Structure 1
Amino acid sequence: MRARRTHRGFTLVELLIALAIMALVAVLSWRGLDGMTRTQAATRAHTDEVLTLQAGLAQWTADLDAMLDPTELPPLDWDGRVLRIVRASTVPGQTGPLIAAWTRRGVADGGQWLRWQSPPLHSRGEMLQAWERAARWAQTPSSEERQREVAITPLADWRLFYYRLNSWTNPLSTADTPQTGRTTIEAPDGVRLVLELPPGGALSGVLTRDWVRPTVGGSGT
């Protein structure tokens, strides 16, 4: 007579333990995936910030490289708040000079480095008006003027120096500013830009960029 086989199944306790292990594995897997996603997002934001700053510095150099020397205005002017530059338009089909301006504007969470640009100008009157608009934009911008500005990067502070008479000097100092026979001031041989980037971003600390006028020798760097 054969013995009857008995088939033993999982007990309730064993089933609960298995479910608990599966839940733990699922939680650990989710945390791993979430960490990878956060890391990728942070890396992408870091890269975007660096590329945006590089594009802003490239535009800064392009504005200075395209600087003109009109008779009505100085080629560039720094009043401690805004740098205004008279430059040539490089947009295809749009000839004539334009005004580019750079400033730092304080905001609730610190400050922003901003650039403003006028449309191409076709008369002396338009040029003088755009020059004044650039100054107003840096102080009390209207909604219309804000539409022509581009935010470059968060900025704690910034400083400018001109290279003239074989040394870097404060642009607001007139004691060693070379004058021409006109009423305007000559463009310096170089411009030093010093940016103080706030902590917490992709880049922080002090960044210095020197530009040399192409006619002096070499290109902007």
Structure 2
Amino acid sequence: MRPSRGFTLIELMVAIAIMALLALMSWRGLDGMARAQAQNRERGDTVLTLQTTLTQWNTDLDATVALAQVRAIDWDGRVLRLTRRSTDNATPMVYVVAWTLRADAAVGARWHRWQSPGVTSRPDWQQAWDQAAAWGQDGNAQAQGADVSLMPVAAWQLYYFRNGSWSPAVGADELGAATPEPDGIRLVLSLPPGPALAGMLTKDWVRPSATAPKS
């Protein structure tokens, strides 16, 4: 009988080195897959938040209503205030909605939306309208309503579409109370740098009752 031959020390060391190399490559592959999944999940959550926020933006603008002696839209360079109707036809009331950008320690700045309780009289509307202005300027905690923190935004700009062209939005007080509401509003968002979304985003809204200009 021939004696069995075992592995030499060098062969064992080579085998162990190969196994260690394979384990390292497998770990790097798994780590890369985990990172890619985390990035895709974060990007998906960010895109979903953005879509939900812009849907709410469009819904608010579509529901704006111009009542007698009640302003529908006002922009003062910092806060956009809207008067919008209720979606419940059985309960006739209106809401005051405000959008603004507020400093945030974690992300730099964040877009916020505020909505008043339903109002049914002009004095209640005026109170809510004034509360929206105060809330937009200093985050007045005394303003009764719902304040929702939406998404990180570095800066935002608004443009109005009037008389067939876009121009920077100005408040009604600057143009006079008799100035008609804009036929469209262009929203320009500057998204902060990040792993999910970044850069400039433009969203145009057209008033549902707007008519095309005659050629």
Report the TM-score when normalising by structure 2.
0.84
1:186 corresponds, among 155, 180, 185, to 180
Secondary structure of the residue that 2:18 maps to in structure 1?
helix
Amino acid at match of 2:165: S
2:28 corresponds, among 22, 28, 31, to 31
1:216 corresponds, among 200, 210, 215, to 210
Contact 2:117 2:144 in 1 (8 A): no
Secondary structure of the residue that 2:169 maps to in structure 1?
coil
Secondary structure of the residue that 1:120 maps to in structure 2?
coil
2:126 corresponds, among 125, 128, 142, to 128
Deviations 1:92-124 (A, max 9, x none): 876521111111112234211221112222333
Amino acid at match of 2:206: V
Q: How does 1:137-216 map to 2 (within 5 A)?
A: 137-143=135-141, 148-172=146-170, 177=175, 179-180=177-178, 185-216=179-210
Cross-structure match for 2:13: 16
Amino acid at match of 2:37: Q
How far residue 34 of structure 1 moved from its aligned partner, in angstroms, is: 0.6
Which 10-residue stretch deviates more, 90-99 or 75-84? 90-99
Which 10-residue stretch deviates more, 189-198 or 85-94? 85-94
* CA distance, structure 1, for counterparts of residue 13 and residue 144 of structure 2: 63
Deviations 1:163-221 (A, max 9, x none): 223332333266994754xxxx5322211211122233533222222212111148xxx
Q: CA RMSD in A?
A: 2.7
Deviations 1:7-34 (A, max 9, x none): 1222344333322221221111011011
Contact 1:165 1:176 in 2 (8 A): no
Contact 1:164 1:177 in 2 (8 A): no
- State yes or no: 1:44 paired with 2:38: no
* CA distance, structure 2, for counterparts of residue 95 and residue 131 of structure 1: 18
Runs of 4+ in 1 over 4 A off after TM superposition: 91-95, 142-147, 173-176
* CA distance, structure 2, for counterparts of residue 178 and residue 13 of structure 1: 91
* CA distance, structure 1, for counterparts of residue 173 and residue 89 of structure 2: 41
Amino acid at match of 1:79: D
Secondary structure of the residue that 1:21 maps to in structure 2?
helix
Secondary structure of the residue that 2:103 maps to in structure 1?
strand
| Cα distance change on mapping 1:91 and 1:172 into 2, 3 Å | same
Report the TM-score when normalising by structure 1.
0.82
Deviations 1:133-187 (A, max 9, x none): 212222222456698222332212111122223332333266994754xxxx532
Return 5+ residue gaps in structure 1 as ranges.
none
Amino acid at match of 1:8: R
* CA distance, structure 2, for counterparts of residue 19 and residue 134 of structure 1: 70
* CA distance, structure 2, for counterparts of residue 67 and residue 112 of structure 1: 24
Structure number with larger C-alpha Rg: 1
Secondary structure of the residue that 1:196 maps to in structure 2?
strand
Amino acid at match of 2:115: Q
Secondary structure of the residue that 1:98 maps to in structure 2?
strand
| Cα distance change on mapping 1:75 and 1:174 into 2, 3 Å | closer
How far residue 58 of structure 1 moved from its aligned partner, in angstroms, is: 1.4
* CA distance, structure 2, for counterparts of residue 173 and residue 147 of structure 1: 23
